[in-house]
Amino acid sequence: MAGTGEGKKEEADYKRLHCFPLIRETDMPEEMKVETMELCVTACEKFATNNESAAKMIKESMDKKFGSSWHVVIGEGFGLEVTHEVKNMLYMFFGGSLAVCVWRCS
Amino acid sequence: MPVTDKSVAASVRKDDEERVDTVDRWDESHHGKGLIKPPDQLELTEAELKEEFTRILTANNPHAPANIVLYNSKECCYKPTVVEQMIVHFVVEGSLLHQDSDEARRQKAKGGLPEETATFDTGAGPDEAKPETLDTPADDEGGAGEEDRPDSVASKTNQKKEAKVTNQFDYSERACQNLNNPHRQIGCQPEPPPRSNFSSLANQWVIYDAYMEELQKQERNKEKQKAAPSKKDPDNTKRAVVSTDSHGHDISKVRKAVKIIERMVNQNTFDEIAQDFKYYEDDSDEFRAQEGTLLPLWKFQYDQAKGLSVTALCWNKKYQDLFAVGMGSYDFNKQEHGLLVFYSLKNTAFPEYSYPTKSGILCIDIHEQHSYLVAVGFYDGCVAVYNLNKEGMDAVHKSTAKTGKHTDPVWQVRWQKDDLDNNHNFYSVSSDGRVASWTLVKNELVFTDVIKLSLNGAMSEGTEGSQQPIIACGTAFDFHKEIDYLFLVGTGEGKIHKCSKTYSSHFLETYVAHSMAVDAVKWNHFHPKVFISCSSDWTIKIWDHTINTPIFTFDLNAAVGDVSWSPYSSTVFSAVTIDGTVHVFDLNINKYEAICQPAVMAKKKGKLTRVEFNPIHPIIIVGDDRGYVTSLKLSPNLRKKPKAKKGQELATGPEVEVAKMDKLLSLLQQPENSTA
């Protein structure tokens, strides 16, 4: 019991500590990076339980802001290999369990 | 539109009722008879006649296909085409006009009918309007006549109102088609935006690890910020540890240590040779009258030099254990790459420096004062300067086609004293007949042609203008040790020219030296008048530059690759021949034969190409055409000093050497003089 309680506490701790967005890989310009990151955070918080909607929201907003052909992947576990236009890719972790990849390729 | 037979009939009848009536009446009045029936007409009863047959006429063509498609190349797909679906069953030209139409009004006007009547007429049926319109042509003529009358007011008003109808027989229509502009297609494709690939794997562990790492980093940063002012030292050590960890793979850190170890290992391995080099003297020399021996020491070889032959050797004047080897090929058909290698006697297993080059090297020279500067001449005509102090595999200076490189192989380069502006400079000689001077000015290699060799004397001496002087190939040169401006150039034609730096127009002297290309020409280190030359015609000749004929001629029974004066005695020189033999002469001991001629290489294995004396140590290095360099120790007999007479102090120094040579020369000249 004590162990599980501790585990839960740890988990909560982890969640609390790891809620910040963590950019793993990006080649975007600084301004664009910040904007995209904020957008991802907003979308993931808004649709905390529905990754698909979050991805859709990010994609549509990005299309609107930076022009067409954006692609978004959100998930807890996936592998990807993409070709993207240079200076248009961002790969980040969020909320301790989500990975978000946003890139552009027409 | 489908219409029943009956209704059509009815409408037609309604329209034409009266006209038909009139026709009937006209018929009756003329013939007074009923209907004329063809004789074979069926007799039908009244009931049968009354019977109605309904038939539908449609305007749609039942035979027209409805599914024809045509390929539309504009939209790249098949499109249904519209086929004329209507069938014309019946056509009749009518002569009726609508009374409100323009044409009807015009005709009315022409007919002179007042507007009121026209409007009044609208109430009447078309049959009434029609006769009038039909009448109009007849009236027209009369009307026209009336209209011509100028006093008629009505005609005037009419004329004003009506635009004149064009006379259809009295006008011409013209049309022309101008040239269409030719069509042209222009296309362009912009470069697509640059792309790159990204791949990653995300799962919970990866994400967790990433976050943990980030947290740790943040904590460390916090700690650092806190600890920065107070605890500097532990932090520094920590950082140092980290930095060594990160650069742990960098081998350059231990380079120096490794080099020392390598030398130590080599000295241990070749301990015997090192001992020989330093201390061993061939005792057997004492029992031999004149002959000496050559003791092989190290053999230098390098994997990358396989297949290349040694084309140049040069000792470093400052570090006497270091020498440079130029690799290339003398074979015209086997020109590939070259290699510039520096070996040290302290590490005989592996070169100190090596510089691969694109073209084969033919000659090198190390600067006397600045021993890190190495001038190199290439087979492709380039000259280059390498700086051993500089990192990198490329030459610091290199001549290009733009900056006056030779058009043929460069056979010899030689550093000169710095010029008046303290710029380093060197000379080069090439088969293209040019002797050029190269000056290192800042980042550039500036050239000046010193002399151009031609077969019949120097350039301007030949017949001016009309004839192009035949160019002689320079193959070797050497500068006088004392007289700064004087130098000798050996040519491919076997002649040796004595030239001056100051006269570019003519030679001071020309010696008809050899029957084949001169391979090397060298001034004696001590005696200012004597020089030596060798050639592929098997001979070595020793000259006094004031005399046109050779003083000594030696035939070695094989093409001589190189000859070199010893730095310790004016009478000792060595030569290598292509049969693999080194010949060492001491004229003071034997004027006719070599005092030592061991075969360093088996005859079939390869040829010896170059020989060079070490400036201090009693060894020579010999290069061969397989890329090996062999070092040989001269036995005591080969460097014998004249025996000191009892009680007399052993004189040394250049004067003695000069005297020695002078004695020889006088010996030779006297019989000549006596014969003459």
Tell whether B194 lies on the interface with A, counting CB pairs under 8 A: yes
Q: Is residue A2 part of a domain?
A: no
- CB-CB under 8 Å, B203 with A81: no
Q: Which of B195, B199, B201 sits opposite A85 (nearest CB)?
A: B195
pLDDT of res. A7:
63
Q: Is residue A4 part of a domain?
A: no
For B239-252, how does the pLDDT look when each residue is reduced to its tens digit (9 = 90+)?
444 444 444 456 77
Distance, in Å, from the CA atom of B252 to the CA atom of B264, rounded to the nearest integer, reads: 19
Mean pLDDT of B532-558: 86
Q: Which of B195, B200, B211 sits opposite A80 (nearest CB)?
A: B200
Q: What is the DSSP letter of B235?
A: H
- CB-CB under 8 Å, A93 with B202: yes
Tell whether B674 lies on the interface with A, counting CB pairs under 8 A: no
pLDDT of res. A5:
56
pLDDT band at B317 (very low <50, low <70, confident <90, very high): confident
pLDDT value at A101 more than 90: yes
Which of B16-25, B109-118, B166-175, B335-344 ranks highest by mean pLDDT? B335-344
For B368-419, how does the pLDDT look when each residue is reduced to its tens digit (9 = 90+)?
888 888 889 888 888 888 888 887 778 888 887 777 788 888 888 888 888 7
- CB-CB under 8 Å, A89 with B202: no
Counting the structural domains of chain A, the total is: 1
For B625-657, how does the pLDDT look when each residue is reduced to its tens digit (9 = 90+)?
888 888 888 887 777 765 544 444 545 666 777
Report CA Rg, chain B: 59
Mean pLDDT of B279-298: 77
Using CB atoms within 10 A of its CB, is residue B187 exposed (0-12), middle (13-18) or buried (19+)?
exposed
- CB-CB under 8 Å, A89 with B198: yes
Q: Is residue A9 part of a domain?
A: no
How far away is chain A from the Cα of B189, in angstroms, using its nearest Cα? 16
For A76-92, how does the pLDDT look when each residue is reduced to its tens digit (9 = 90+)?
999 999 999 999 999 99
Q: Which of B195, B201, B207 sits opposite A96 (nearest CB)?
A: B207
Tell whether A12 lies on the interface with B, counting CB pairs under 8 A: no
Distance, in Å, from the CA atom of B293 to the CA atom of B582, rounded to the nearest integer, reads: 11
Q: Which of B195, B200, B204 sits opposite A76 (nearest CB)?
A: B204
pLDDT of res. B559:
86
User: How many beta-carbon contacts under 8 Å exist across A and B?
Assistant: 77
Lowest average pLDDT, out of A33-47, B411-425, B660-674, goes to B660-674
- CB-CB under 8 Å, B203 with A76: yes
Report CA Rg, chain A: 15
Which of A38-42, B281-285, B535-539 ranks highest by mean pLDDT? A38-42
pLDDT of res. B603:
64
- CB-CB under 8 Å, B197 with A82: yes
Q: What is the DSSP letter of B228?
A: T
Both tokens assigned to B234: 């532990």
How far away is chain B from the Cα of A1, in angstroms, using its nearest Cα? 25
Distance, in Å, from the CA atom of B114 to the CA atom of B394, rounded to the nearest integer, reads: 113
| Cα–Cα distances in angstroms (integers) from residue B456 to residues B410, B474, B485, in the given order | 22, 14, 22
pLDDT value at B536 more than 60: yes
Task: Please give the full DSSP string across B2-15, using - where no structure is assigned.
Answer: -EEHHHHHHHHHHH
User: ipTM for the complex?
Assistant: 0.85
For B118-175, how does the pLDDT look when each residue is reduced to its tens digit (9 = 90+)?
444 444 444 444 444 444 444 444 444 444 444 444 444 555 556 666 666 776 778 8
Question: What are residue B72's phi and psi, to 5 degrees?
Answer: -100, 110
Distance, in Å, from the CA atom of B397 to the CA atom of B543, rounded to the nearest integer, reads: 36
Q: Which of B199, B207, B211 sits opposite A81 (nearest CB)?
A: B199
Mean pLDDT of B618-626: 86
Tell which residue, B363, B368, B366, has the closest CA to residue B353: B366
Distance, in Å, from the CA atom of B658 to the CA atom of B570, rounded to the nearest integer, reads: 7
Q: What is the DSSP letter of B358?
A: S
- CB-CB under 8 Å, B196 with A83: yes
Tell whether B252 lies on the interface with A, counting CB pairs under 8 A: no
Mean pLDDT of B463-491: 76
For B343-376, how does the pLDDT look when each residue is reduced to its tens digit (9 = 90+)?
888 888 888 888 888 888 888 998 888 888 888 9
CB within 8 Å of chain B, chain A residues 30-49: none
Mutate to test the interface with B, among A40, A80, A92 (most CBs of B within 10 A): A80
- What percent of chain A stands above pLDDT 70? 88
Q: Is residue A66 part of a domain?
A: yes
pLDDT value at B675 more than 50: no
Tell whether A19 lies on the interface with B, counting CB pairs under 8 A: no
- What percent of chain B stands above pLDDT 90? 1
Tell whether A92 lies on the interface with B, counting CB pairs under 8 A: no
Lowest average pLDDT, out of B89-93, B451-455, B574-578, goes to B451-455
Q: Is residue A83 part of a domain?
A: yes
Q: Listing from the earlier edge strand, what are the strands of the sheet with A98-104?
A: A22-26, A89-94, A98-104, A70-75
Q: Is residue A84 part of a domain?
A: yes
CB atoms within 10 A of CB A59: 16
Mean pLDDT of B511-518: 86
Which of A21-35, B574-588, B617-631 ranks highest by mean pLDDT? A21-35
Lowest average pLDDT, out of A15-24, A30-39, B12-21, B461-470, goes to B12-21
Q: E-assigned strands of B417-453?
A: 425-430, 434-441, 444-452
Q: Listing from the earlier edge strand, what are the strands of the sheet with B383-387?
A: B361-366, B373-378, B383-387, B397-398
pLDDT of res. B33:
56
What CATH number should be reported for the domain holding residue A62? 3.30.740.10
Q: What average pLDDT is seen over chain B?
A: 76
Extents of the domains making up chain B: 1-92, 100-137, 266-641+651-675
Distance, in Å, from the CA atom of B297 to the CA atom of B288, rounded to the nearest integer, reads: 22
pLDDT band at B467 (very low <50, low <70, confident <90, very high): low
pLDDT value at B117 more than 70: no
Residue type, B655: E
For B259-279, how does the pLDDT look when each residue is reduced to its tens digit (9 = 90+)?
888 888 888 888 888 888 878
Tell whether A68 lies on the interface with B, counting CB pairs under 8 A: no
- CB-CB under 8 Å, B201 with A79: yes
Q: Is residue A87 part of a domain?
A: yes
Stronger pLDDT, B466 or B299, i.e. the higher one? B299
Per CATH, the homologous superfamily of domain B266-641+651-675 is YVTN repeat-like/Quinoprotein amine dehydrogenase (2.130.10.10)
pLDDT of res. A79:
92
Q: Which domain holds residue A82?
A: 20-104
Mean pLDDT of B205-220: 89
Q: What average pLDDT is seen over chain A?
A: 87
